[in-house]
Amino acid sequence: MIRIAELKLPLSAVEYHPENHTEYQPTDKLTQLAAERLGLAANAIAKLHVHKRSFDARKAELLAVYIVDITLADESREAALLTQFADHPHVNPTPDMSWKPVGQAPAGLDERPVVVGFGPCGMFAGLVLAQMGFKPIVLERGKTVRERTKDTWRLWRKRELTPESNVQYGEGGAGTFSDGKLYSQIKDPRHLGRKVLTEFVTYGAPPEILYAAHPHIGTFKLVKLVEGIREEIVRLGGEIRFEQRVTDVQIEEVDGQRQLVGLQVLDQATGQSYALPTHHAVMALGHSSRDTFAMFYERGVAMEAKPFSVGFRIEHPQSVIDRARWGKDAGHPLLGAA
């Protein structure tokens, strides 16, 4: 396939039905633009898929900007076309964005890996380990997302804090109570973000997150999505244990190397502590588990502080921002809030 970027159409060319929140891609118009870019007849393109759609509001006429992947009716011509446009910045081979497992659990696996934390990192660590057949054990110090939602609303409305079940701790992580923004400035040459977005759609996120330039899911859809990922991990043989807090790591020296041999875990529901043997643990702690980080430091676990930025927030009425960003098209249902 061939990927073509910077195909532009006026906003009016994009069909949107606000009653069912459905966007219909202007495939015929995009096919014509793609054909013109490559110097082909439109019927030479057998299939067109919209990879990304964004908006350019820098001029008075707002434009929808597309990146598309095309398949030619005669696929044998693609190599020659790519050679012809080798120096064109907006014509390239379509990259392989499929996720490829890095391994597979051996038959008769006798020790399961442990994932500590069930925020975004822990969820996807658990999911991919389960998909590779490792049947992970996931430990989360907080509660299930439904119970946690009740505890969080109780904090916000009644100022009653549940220390281990709130915005910071619990299934889904801190982002569960955001609106689910899914974009960043991080370069992703291995297309791992595509794996994340595809899984989100599988478990209930709107399909448009796969092509929208600045996608978001929405808080109320996130809860069901998180539950869906949990259910899939369990279906594949994994185990999720809630209200389980790691209090210590068991490390032994083997052939001059310090190795993890187990975790000490507190069952916060019963108050009982137990040892969980494992040589492989993913510490997906987030940034709020200060007690766990302190314990790691005391045990000599190597850690490195990451850089951070500090900013401030200025609030304006949304309508002001929309007019500043979208101009005369502010309020168009497809654009939403700027």
**Mean pLDDT value of segment 105-126:** 92
pTM score: 0.86
**DSSP assignment of 302-316:** ---PPP---------
Helix (H, G, I), strand (E, B) or coil at 282: strand
C-alpha span between 153 and 223 (Å, rounded): 14
Which residues are paired to 54 by β-bridges? 65
Report pLDDT digits (tens) over 254-311.
Answer: 888 899 999 999 999 999 999 999 999 999 998 888 999 999 999 998 888 888 878 8
**Contact between residue 73 and residue 22 where contact means Cβ atoms under 8 Å apart:** no
* Block residue for tokens 């007019």: 323
Which residues are paired to 281 by β-bridges? 114
Report pLDDT digits (tens) over 38-60.
Answer: 999 999 999 999 999 999 988 88
Please report, for the chain, how many H helices and E strands are present, in that order: 8, 13
Sign of CA dihedral 150, 151, 157, 158: positive
Residue 180 has pLDDT above 70, yes or no: no
Q: Which residue in 102, 115, 103 sits closest to 282, CA to CA?
A: 115
C-alpha span between 94 and 81 (Å, rounded): 13
Which residues are paired to 263 by β-bridges? 249, 276
* Block residue for tokens 């850690």: 303
| pLDDT of 175 | 78
